[in-house]
């Protein structure tokens, strides 16, 4: 019995591998800023406070939706819209806070949180001399 030899065809040449080491790059987190007003600072903008109490939660939320470049029906269709808007604004403008705090403020202080978002958008828009989003 004869041994059968298997032949392989080489289709490419081996390439040299270079490993480059360097100094570690430090990517620092930007300093977070505080909210322009507190969650319970409703008296700093009585218009949004009165609007959230008497015109209804949905009117002010729809207004905020439009100002944040979202569809005005989002609050009707998506649960936790207020928390999502707070998180979006906070991350976009590097405002202090956490997802847990966004969640707690939205669930336990919804009208006050909505007013805070309206005030913060107004503050940002006045600094930018234009829309925030």
Residue 123 lies in a domain: yes
Residue 99 lies in a domain: yes
Per-residue pLDDT tens for 34-89? 999 988 887 788 887 777 777 767 778 888 888 999 988 888 888 888 899 999 99
pLDDT band per the 50, 70, 90 thresholds, residue 19: low
Residue 4 lies in a domain: no
Residue 8 lies in a domain: no
pTM above 0.85, yes or no: no
Question: Looking at the 3D structure of the chain, how many domains does it have?
Answer: 1
Residue 27 lies in a domain: no
Of 85, 97, 81, whose CA–CA distance to 121 is shortest? 85
Domain range holding 51? Answer: 45-128
Percentages of the chain per state (helix, strand, coil), in multiples of 5: 50, 0, 45
Residue 63 lies in a domain: yes
Kindly tell me if the per-residue pLDDT of 104 is higher than 90: yes
Residue 39 lies in a domain: no
């Amino acid at each position: 019995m004869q041994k059968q030899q298997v032949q392989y065809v080489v289709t490419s040449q081996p390439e040299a591998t270079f490993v480059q080491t360097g100094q570690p790059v430090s990517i620092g987190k930007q300093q977070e800023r505080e909210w322009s007003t507190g969650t319970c600072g409703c008296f700093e903008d009585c218009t949004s406070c009165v609007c959230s109490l008497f015109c209804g939660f949905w009117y002010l939320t729809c207004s905020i939706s439009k100002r944040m470049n979202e569809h005005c029906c989002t609050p009707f269709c998506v649960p936790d819209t207020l928390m999502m808007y707070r998180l979006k604004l906070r991350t976009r403008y590097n405002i202090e806070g956490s997802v847990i705090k966004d969640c707690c403020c939205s669930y336990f202080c919804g009208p006050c949180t909505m007013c805070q978002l309206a005030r913060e958008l107004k503050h940002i828009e006045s600094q930018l001399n234009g829309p925030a989003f």
